[in-house]
């Protein structure tokens, strides 16, 4: 039986991916190259440090460790400037009713995100009270597609991995769920999230019947 739902944040609960893209694009431009929206897709679900390495390798740019730390902080500062303006109106369609549905059924809820700003974002959109546990970039050593994020979530909730469903919009996240022996629901394009056990394009109209597919 499914006892818990673990949610990624960016692209699942809110669309902060657009803010990440703007901040990363600004960083790339500052370093003398560009970043397209298509290229940004490969950064979804990936930690800040790994994302920077991917961008630098793509364009053959070399930075010292100190320079990397500097630019990661700069990127995060630009991102936070945008996040500060977020409101509950930016919760993706259907998310809050779905959370109400699974919470009412007694299911546990955890966040499993690479973002170190997860708590700030959840506070901005008034979603913090829904979560029984929050696993974010401040607690995780091994980013997705390693399953550590979700395994820590299951442990924090006191459930087995096999009793969890992971909701993810990224390939790395779906892979992490599978590696952790968890079921997965992809949120997005079925043509991309082919390894997910089931895919929805939106939470609109979704209810407990989605969970019951796995029981």
8 flagged as catalytic: yes
Q: Report how far Cα 41 is from the mean position of its chain's Cα atoms.
A: 13
Length of the chain: 215
Nearest Cα to Cα of residue 150 among 118, 172, 180: 180
Annotated active-site residue in 8, 53, 59, 136: 8
Question: DSSP alpha helices (H): ranges in 84-196?
Answer: 95-104, 118-124, 148-157, 171-179
SS3 content of the chain, % helix, strand, coil (to 5): 45, 15, 40
Sign of CA dihedral 18, 22, 24, 25: positive
169 flagged as catalytic: no
Annotated active-site residue in 10, 15, 59, 189: 10
Phi-psi region of 106 (alpha: psi -120 to 50; beta: other; left: phi over 0): left
Catalytic residues: 8, 10
């Amino acid at each position: 039986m499914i006892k818990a739902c673990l949610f990624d944040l960016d692209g699942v609960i809110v669309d902060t991916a657009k803010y990440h893209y703007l901040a990363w694009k600004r960083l790339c431009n500052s370093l003398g190259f560009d970043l397209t929206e298509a290229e940004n897709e490969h950064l979804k679900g990936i930690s800040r440090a790994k994302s920077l390495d991917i961008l630098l390798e793509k364009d053959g740019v070399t930075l010292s460790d100190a320079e990397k730390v500097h630019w990661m902080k700069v990127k995060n500062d630009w991102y936070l400037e945008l996040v500060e303006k977020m409101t509950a109106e930016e919760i993706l369609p259907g998310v809050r009713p779905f959370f109400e549905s699974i919470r009412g059924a007694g299911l546990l809820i955890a966040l499993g995100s690479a973002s170190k700003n997860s708590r700030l974002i959840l506070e901005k959109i008034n979603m913090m009270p829904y979560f029984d546990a929050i696993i974010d970039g401040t607690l995780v050593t091994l980013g997705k597609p390693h399953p550590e994020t979700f395994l820590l979530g299951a442990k924090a909730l006191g459930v087995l991995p096999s009793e969890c469903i992971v909701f993810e919009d990224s390939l790395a996240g779906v892979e992490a769920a599978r590696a952790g022996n968890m079921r997965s629901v992809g949120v997005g394009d079925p043509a991309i999230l082919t390894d997910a056990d089931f895919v929805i394009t939106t939470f609109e109209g979704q209810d407990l019947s989605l969970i019951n597919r796995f029981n």
